[in-house]
C-alpha cells in the first residue's frame, strides 16, 4: 500500500514538474513571469523548460501574425445613438463624408512585454488615434479632394500620423499599413454627389475632345505652314539663281563692251543695232509690225495716208 502511495506521489510530482515544459511555436515569442516577476529572457520558438505551474507563468504571443482594427464609419444598418456617427467627418469646406479605414499591425518582437501588459486596450488606443488623425486629414481638404484622392493618399498619411500618436503609450506594436475601405458622402446627399460626379465626367470628356481637336488642327496648321515654308524657300532659291544668272550675263556683256569699245569706238552703236534687230524681229514674228512697201509712192514713202473718216449723218 505504501509503495502504491509512493508511486502515485512520484507520478503526481512528475506530472506537476511537466507543467514547467512549454512548446513555443514558430512565429511566437514567450514571456515568463516567475512568482509575478517578468524574466528578461524571452524564449524563442522551441521547447522551454521552466518551473512548474504556480511558480512560472508562460504567455505565448504571435509576433508574426498581422492583426487589424477597423476604424471610421460603420454600416448604416447598424443602430447608432450618436447625432453624428463615428467616421462621419467634416471636410474643410463644411461637407460631411463617411470614411472607413482598416489598420494593420503586428507585435514588436523586442517589445512583447509592453504588448502583453496593454493587450486589452491596444485596439481601442490605435482606433482612437487613427480616428483623430483621419479627422485632421479630412478637415484640411475640400470634399472633392477627399472623395477623389482619399483612396490613394489617406493610407500612408494615416499610418504616419497614427504612429506618432501611439508612440508615447509604448504599446509594443508596429503599424504596417492602412487601407481605405470606402469614402462616400452621406446617403441623404449621395445622389447629388453622384450627379455632380457624372457632370464632371462629362465636362472632362468634352474638354479632352476639345483638346484633341485643337491638337489635330494645330498639327494640320503646322503641316500647312511647313509646306508653305518649303514652297517659299524653293521660290527664293530659284529667284536667287535666276538673278545671279542675269547678273553674270550682264557682267559678261559689260566686260565684252569695255573690251570692244577699246577696239571699236562705234561698238555701242553696233550693240544697239543688234538689240534693235532682235526686237524688230520679235515684233514682226508676233505680227505687231510689217513692211512699208505698200506705202511707197512716186514721191517716196507716203505715211500720211490714213483711212477716211466716216461721214457725218
Give pLDDT, residue 215. Answer: 93
CA distance 213 to 299: 86
pLDDT-wise least confident of 105-114, 119-128, 132-141, 272-281: 272-281
CA-to-CA separations, 169 to 76, 106, 118, 126, in angstroms, rounded: 32, 16, 9, 10
pLDDT confidence of 128, banded at 50, 70, 90?
Answer: very high
CA distance 150 to 140: 12
Give pLDDT, residue 124. Answer: 93
pLDDT confidence of 105, banded at 50, 70, 90?
Answer: very high
In this predicted model, what pLDDT tens digit does every residue of 260-296 receive, in sequence order?
777 777 777 777 777 777 777 777 777 766 665 566 6
Q: What SS3 class is residue 100? A: strand
Phi, psi values for residue 152, rounded to 5°: -105, -25
User: What's the helix, strand, coil split of the chain in %, to 5?
Assistant: 55, 20, 25
Q: How many helices (H) and strands (E) does the chain have?
A: 6, 11
As given in the structure block, the three cell numbers for residue 133 are 488623425
pLDDT-wise least confident of 43-47, 215-219, 302-306: 302-306
| CA-angle at 66, arms to 61 and 72, nearest 5° | 120
Give pLDDT, residue 296. Answer: 62
DSSP 173: E
**CA dihedral sign of residues 34, 36, 39, 43:** positive
Q: What is the mean pLDDT of residues 227-237?
A: 93
In this predicted model, what pLDDT tens digit does every residue of 72-104 receive, in sequence order?
888 654 444 455 677 889 899 888 899 999 999
CA distance 243 to 230: 20
Give pLDDT, residue 186. Answer: 81
pLDDT-wise least confident of 89-98, 162-171, 182-191, 220-229: 182-191
Query: Pick the residue with more confidence: 301 or 113?
Result: 113
Q: What is the mean pLDDT of residues 6-33?
A: 73
User: Is there a contact between 193 and 147 (Cβ–Cβ < 8 Å)?
Assistant: yes
Distance of CA 157 to the CA centre of its chain: 19
Give pLDDT, residue 288. Answer: 65
- Res. 198: pLDDT tops 70: yes
The pLDDT mean for the chain works out to 81
DSSP notation for 37-96: EEPS----SEEEE-PPBTTEEEEEEESS--EEEEEE---TTS---SSS-TTEEE-TTS-E
pLDDT-wise least confident of 50-59, 97-106, 250-259, 271-280: 50-59
Amino acid at each position: 500500500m505504501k509503495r502504491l502511495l509512493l508511486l502515485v506521489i512520484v507520478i503526481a510530482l512528475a506530472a506537476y514538474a511537466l507543467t514547467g515544459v512549454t512548446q513555443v511555436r514558430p512565429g511566437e515569442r514567450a514571456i515568463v513571469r516567475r512568482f509575478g516577476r517578468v524574466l528578461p529572457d524571452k524564449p524563442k520558438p522551441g521547447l522551454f523548460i521552466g518551473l512548474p505551474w504556480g511558480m512560472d507563468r508562460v504567455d505565448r504571443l504571435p509576433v508574426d501574425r498581422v492583426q487589424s482594427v477597423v476604424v471610421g464609419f460603420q454600416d448604416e444598418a447598424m443602430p447608432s445613438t450618436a447625432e453624428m456617427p463615428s467616421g462621419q467627418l467634416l471636410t474643410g469646406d463644411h461637407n460631411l463624408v463617411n470614411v472607413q479605414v482598416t489598420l494593420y499591425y503586428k507585435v514588436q518582437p523586442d517589445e512583447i512585454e509592453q504588448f502583453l501588459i496593454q493587450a486589452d486596450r491596444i485596439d481601442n488606443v490605435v482606433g482612437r488615434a487613427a480616428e483623430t488623425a483621419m479627422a485632421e486629414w479630412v478637415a484640411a481638404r475640400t470634399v472633392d479632394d477627399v472623395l477623389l484622392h482619399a483612396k490613394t493618399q489617406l493610407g500612408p498619411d494615416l499610418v504616419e500620423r497614427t504612429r506618432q500618436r501611439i508612440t508615447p503609450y509604448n504599446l509594443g506594436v508596429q503599424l504596417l499599413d492602412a487601407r481605405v475601405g470606402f469614402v462616400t458622402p452621406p446617403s441623404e446627399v449621395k445622389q447629388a454627389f453622384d450627379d455632380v460626379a457624372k457632370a464632371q465626367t462629362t465636362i472632362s470628356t468634352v474638354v479632352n475632345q476639345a483638346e484633341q481637336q485643337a491638337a489635330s488642327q494645330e498639327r494640320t496648321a503646322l503641316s500647312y505652314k511647313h509646306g508653305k515654308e518649303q514652297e517659299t524657300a524653293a521660290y527664293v532659291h530659284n529667284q536667287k539663281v535666276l538673278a545671279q544668272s542675269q547678273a553674270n550675263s550682264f557682267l559678261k556683256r559689260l566686260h565684252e563692251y569695255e573690251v570692244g569699245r577699246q577696239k571699236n569706238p562705234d561698238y555701242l552703236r553696233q550693240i544697239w543695232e543688234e538689240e534693235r534687230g532682235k526686237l524688230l524681229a520679235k515684233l514682226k514674228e508676233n505680227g505687231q509690225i510689217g513692211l512699208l512697201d505698200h506705202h511707197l509712192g512716186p514721191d517716196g514713202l507716203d505715211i500720211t495716208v490714213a483711212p477716211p473718216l466716216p461721214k457725218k449723218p
